[in-house]
Amino acid sequence: MEVSTLFSLSGRKALVTGASRGIGQAIAAALASAGADVAITAREASALEETCGQITQLGRQVVPLSLDVRDISACAEAVAAADERLGGLDILVNNAGYEEIRPSVHVDEALWDRIVSTNLKGAFFCAQAAARQMSAAGRAGAIINLCSLTSYVGVPTAVPYGSSKSGLLGMTRALAAEWAPLDIRVNAIAPGYFRTAMTDVFYEDKEWQEAMLTKIPQRRFGAMEDVAGAVVFLASGASAYVTGHCIPVDGGYLASI
């Protein structure tokens, strides 16, 4: 088989949560560029206009959906809507996430619940709904979760976030083992240091930037296109025998510590 065929997503149908900007937007565009039709979500569907335009320009079908992943019933409804409007579902990317930096002694229940419900609980119930849809239709599936460097290392003042992303890594492995007989693969990527609206507070500090760059072997922060290859690989037939793994996209950060 030709390598280009292995990586092609022609005829595939994908759902990407949290796709209004940043990494989620880049992932949705990458999947469309590889040939997939894509349903995309944000808390407000109106925020998806730019991403819709990118996918349309690539000649693929796009379905914008409103979804707050903390609402479990809404997760199932969004998956069902994506399946119905796209004519099936083969790929789910759990990208929707939330982070807020706060010293742990000042973390309250509301913040803990918001972060963990968004990053972990929401991802699980989207995956559950997608797996049900895929298995009922007899379709092979690929589920990709967005983990983090905090899935591996402790980061002060980010304990709820790190806890949710560590849990997401464990969930990825467990679901991969359970759903392999259903021909549903579950993998993850762990982006390193990327400047997004959610992480912009760090990058406003020039001293932090300089200190962090010394810890990244490639001596640069991630660019949005850096996630494209990893996601397309995990969504495509090129990774047909890969499940239960997380690929760090971090410029060598984890390898160097």
Active site residues: 161
Whole-number Å distance between alpha carbons of 145 and 11: 22
Q: Report long-range pairs for 61-64 (Cβ below 8 Å, ≥24 apart).
A: 61/37, 61/86, 62/32, 62/37, 62/38, 63/37, 63/38, 63/39, 64/39, 64/40
Whole-number Å distance between alpha carbons of 72 and 208: 37
Look up residue 63 and give its two tokens: 């379905």
DSSP sequence for 240-254: TT--S-EEEESTTTG
Classify the C-alpha dihedral 211-214-220-221 as positive or negative.
Answer: negative
Amino acid 55 reads I
Nearest-CA neighbor of 151 among 119, 186, 114, 174? 119
Look up residue 102 and give its two tokens: 């706060």
